[in-house]
A and B are shown apart, each in its own frame.
Chain A
Amino acid sequence: MMEAASVVNNRERLPSDLQQMVTVAKYDVLKHLRSKRLLGLVILEALLLGLTFALPLLLGVDPTDDPAGYMSAFVSWVEILVIIGATMFAGDAIVSEFQSRTGYLLFPNPVKRSTIFVGKYLSTLGIIVLMLVVYYGVAAALVFAMTGGGTLLSLYSMLLACAYGAAAAALGFLISSVFKGSTGSLVLTFFTLFMILPMIAQLLPAGSIKPWFVLTFCGHVISYIMISPYPTDLVDSISLGNGEFMEYWTYYPDIGGSLAVMGGYVLICLALGMYLFRRKEMVS
């Protein structure tokens, strides 16, 4: 075999960046499909669907006949599902190549870092979308079984959830490009999406500032779109006791603006993450 080795022009047959991107994405999807994380998420999805469906029946609560209203109960879990999905599949996507030393295998190959980055992002996005499609699909089937109908709003909600997933994953990739250890990266991704950004979105209205630019605030469109008509910003007064009142705004994200913000997060986080990944050195 060794003697028969022939000189092959390895340069000529090198695939394009796009082809290599697809290859990276394909094998990264395989990683997710064989991972315990996906299994964990599938179990979580099953639990959420099962509890949302069965608990009212077990408690003897009459379910609503309105498909949109019934679907809302399922949709209310989607934001947290996206956050967990983004944490699990994006939170250490880049840093793991360095920490687990698999970069020593991948990086000396004739493939650009940007190609690896985008390929990995596409695979993460694919898994998150798959997770959402399964969740919405099962939820829609249960809604149909219980109400005999369905609603187009659930499709819109799913598309918005996919956009939110894309933005959350991009944020995870950015954090993953900065950190040196997987644990820190996973923890920060989760707490950024689960606590830090929601806290900012909670505090800003106190200063009458609409947190339209906060990703998790924009993510609320996934649930609000199930409400008809779509809610609009409103101001409330809170009595302070001595005849004085304090105005308090309740803000709702608008759909178009939120989609634009999510798109912005995707572009900015991916551009920054890719820049950092390209500069990151494989040091022992």
Chain B
Amino acid sequence: MDTPIRVHGLTKVYGGGFRAVDALDLNVPRRSFMGFLGPNGAGKTTTIKIVTNMLSATSGRAYINGVSVMEDPKTALADVGAVVETPEFYPYLTPMETLHYLGELRGLSSCETTNRGRDLLDLVKLTDWREKRVGKFSKGMKQRLAIAQALLSQPSVIILDEPTSGLDPRGMVEVRDILKQLHKLDVTVLMSSHLLNEVQEICTDVSLINRGRLLRSGSVADLLDEVKARKIDVRTLRPLTPDMFDRLRAVPGVKGFAVTGDLSFSLDFEGEEDAQARLLIELQNLGLMVVSFKESGLALESLYMSLIMESR
């Protein structure tokens, strides 16, 4: 199956006529880690809920490993691990009991669940808590447990809905570290997010949606190549003074700049790496004494914003 997740003409109209998903087509290639990007209310979670059989579609189809979620959800979801929103756990169960419950529903033997559960709880750093009831767990701990349960049956398809949403910075880093490990597995991942840096850091592919419609889909590298202008953050020991402005604008590739602090500014720059190297030399020649010079990693944001603006 080249496209384990396939969505065709998916539409969801809520009561009151709000069209959350509008004839959406989405194909997630095998072994890709696809970021499903869009602003709040774009239809990401609605799409994921339909694909995981929590919402019914008004029209359209969703297939997982070739099986229609609408017609045979049990078979379609057999090989899927999912974390949708931040699930709540049964407070009367311990993490290990939770994994046994869900493992039993999926046909895992008790022994298999115990062994895998031990490894997964270790992976998500909950080993010390495995016999404690989930009722008192923090949101971050619950989110890590949610990821563990999604991996329990070693599914080939993993669906994650904003897995770092609502976590503190440390929790976000921990969850991202776990997600990065998924690259080592033979799995296909669809992960919704509105955090562009997260998608750029973790995903191999990206699909951008807004108002329930697909705007663009492709590999992250290809989409970034489309973005010619890059933003470069510069920090110096000497300030950028007005008499330097014209000289700076005259440097090849510089399309504009903005002073962001007494000793910092950002540049809109267009050019390859050699041009970037020349830019650095020019900045030093201006006598700025450059301390740091780095691409701000927001290239995807430029594309995202331009596509969102176009779609309005």
Which residues from chain A sit less than 8 Å from chain B, CB to CB? Answer: 1-3, 5-11, 13-15, 20, 23-24, 27, 30-31, 34-35, 100-105, 107-112, 279, 281-284
Contact = CB atoms under 8 A, between A and B. Distances in A.
A220 B45 CA distance: 50
B68 interface: no
A110 B77 contact: yes
A-B pairs, top 6 by smallest CB distance, nearest first, are A104-B87, A282-B54, A13-B107, A108-B82, A101-B88, A105-B87
Nearest to B122: A1
A115 B309 CA distance: 46
B185 A110 contact: no
B303 interface: no
Contacts of A104: 54, 84-88
A11 B119 CA distance: 23
A105 B105 contact: no
Contacts of A27: 90, 93, 97, 101
A110 B155 CA distance: 12
Nearest to B79: A10
B54 A279 contact: no
Interface residues on B, range: 35 or more
Contacts of A20: 105
B119 A14 contact: no
Contacts of A8: 153-154
B31 to A, nearest CB: 12
B257 interface: no
Given A101-B85, A108-B84, A110-B73, A279 B79 contact: no
19 contacts: A2-B123, A5-B185, A8-B153, A10-B106, A13-B106, A13-B107, A20-B105, A30-B97, A31-B90, A103-B54, A104-B84, A105-B98, A105-B149, A108-B77, A110-B73, A112-B74, A282-B49, A284-B45, A284-B85
A283 B55 contact: yes
Nearest to B49: A282
A7 B105 contact: no
Contact of B104 (A9, A10, A23): A23
Given A8-B154, A108-B80, A3 B184 contact: yes
Given A27-B101, A103-B54, A14 B88 contact: no
B204 interface: no
Contacts of A105: 87-90, 98, 102, 146, 149
A101 B285 CA distance: 60
Contact of B53 (A2, A100, A108): A108
Contacts of B119: 1
Contacts of A284: 45, 85
A1 B148 CA distance: 13
Contact of A100 (B76, B85, B88, B153): B88
Nearest to A278: B56
Interface string B122-136: 110000000000000
B4 to A, nearest CB: 12
A281 B54 contact: yes
A8 B79 CA distance: 9
B87 A110 contact: no
Given A8-B154, A11-B75, A279-B56, A109 B106 contact: yes
B198 interface: no
A1 B123 contact: yes
Contacts of B153: 8, 10
A109 B184 contact: no
Given A101-B88, A108-B52, 10 more contacts: A1-B119, A11-B79, A100-B88, A105-B88, A107-B53, A107-B54, A108-B82, A108-B159, A112-B74, A284-B45
Interface string B54-81: 1110000000000000000111111110
A34 to B, nearest CB: 4
B85 A109 contact: no
Given A23-B101, A105-B149, A110 B106 contact: yes
A100 B89 CA distance: 9
Contact of A5 (B105, B107, B154): B154
A270 to B, nearest CB: 20
Contacts of A107: 52-54
Contacts of A30: 92-93, 97
A10 B52 CA distance: 16
B156 interface: yes
B183 to A, nearest CB: 10
